[in-house]
Amino acid sequence: MSLPAEWPSQFEDDELDDEAPFLDDSLPPNHHSGFVAVVGRPNVGKSTLLNRLLGQKIAIVSPKPQTTRNQLLGILTTSPESEPDLPPAQVIFVDTPGIHQPHHKLGEYLVETALAALPDADVVVWLVDASEPPTEEDRLVAAALRDNLGATPAETAVLLALNKADLLSPSVSEAELAQPFLELYPASEWLKISATRGDNHMELLGRIIDHLPLGPRYFPEDQITDQQTRFIAAEFIREAALKVLHQEVPHALAVRVTEFKPRSERMTYISADLIIERDSQKAIVIGEKGKSLKKIGQIARPQIEELVGTQVYLELWVKVRPKWRQKEEELRWLGYALE
């Protein structure tokens, strides 16, 4: 899976057009469109699934919980030319943070962000790890579905995606895998998948489209996300930090791009602050003789270069903002706030 060599130019704009849907008289009368909330407990594979369904990477992925912090739209437009086996559609996926029991203001924001995606969704994909029994956090997800959609899915289809099929015995039936989760919440239907390997992802996509209403395109055909380039660049830097750093530091780290400027047709200058909470964490992020910070830049730079289509001069700085995860004003400054 790779990013396109040229990212659509609309992501450079400070604001995206929030006006009427993108109308196209050539759309067939059976064109489906709508919003699909991808929900589940932390670290269950939601972002991996989103990237798989889109066919390219827009969401960062890490084995560490609470990697996803923002509600991220992934836009997939199908047509007879691109996907002849699927109905024509525009599927707007909403990747959400994992639902969990929060322990600080940032955690509260993450859960609120995930819950906010449910009421307006046309379809909900409830992603679970089918290789193990339901956890307490899976029960929290089921409770959120009940609270927002009712005791049984009526107007909104809930598709139970049984992830990690690559770790399961083929002799175990989908019904057996689904039953413990269906006891928590009665999903409309279920399907065994593998987000990493791609098992049944086209089958899942087809079922999602079948449940979407008929409608227009809300975004141009070539647009794949609602986020600006600088946001995605910041996420790639944070993903690199998650790979390099260990223990508690990644959870206390945020990234804020402070400058994003084309220096020439072939060079883009980016400066970003890595925000942590304590001076002791600063030493860990920088590393001995700057090795950790340098490694973060080395991992992030190629992805950002593919994103922007030029070489990138990347400067990273580490700054301490004490207890930023506990302070609402700090969360707003870093972009973690519901409007």
Query: Do 282 and 320 touch, CB atoms closer than 8 A?
Result: yes
Q: What percent of the chain has pLDDT over 90?
A: 54
Residue 266 and residue 313: Cα distance in Å, rounded? 11
Can you tell me the mean pLDDT for 89-96? 92
DSSP secondary structure string for all residues of 277-322: S-HHHHHHHH-GGGHHHHHHHHHHHHHHHHHHTSEEEEEEEEEE-T
Residue 11 has pLDDT above 50, yes or no: no
Residue 87 and residue 99: Cα distance in Å, rounded? 32
| DSSP three-state, residue 48 | helix
Residue 32 has pLDDT above 60, yes or no: yes
pTM of the model: 0.80
Tokens describing residue 216 = 């227009």
Residue type, 192: K
338 pLDDT tier (thresholds 50, 70, 90): low
| DSSP three-state, residue 161 | strand
Higher-scoring residue by pLDDT: 78, 250: 78
Residue 10 has pLDDT above 50, yes or no: no
Residue 150 has pLDDT above 90, yes or no: no
Can you tell me the mean pLDDT for 43-49? 91
Predicted confidence at residue 17, as pLDDT, reads: 46
Cα–Cα nearest to 40, from 100, 145, 127: 127
Residue 5 has pLDDT above 50, yes or no: no
Residue 247 has pLDDT above 70, yes or no: no
CA angle 193, 198, 204 (to 5 degrees): 50
4 pLDDT tier (thresholds 50, 70, 90): very low
What rounded mean pLDDT belongs to the chain? 86
Residue 44 and residue 46: Cα distance in Å, rounded? 6
Predicted confidence at residue 66, as pLDDT, reads: 63
Higher-scoring residue by pLDDT: 60, 194: 194
What Cα–Cα distance (Å) separates residue 157 from each residue in 35, 53, 235?
Answer: 11, 18, 31
Per-residue pLDDT tens over the stretch 99-140:
888 878 888 888 888 888 898 899 999 999 999 999 999 999
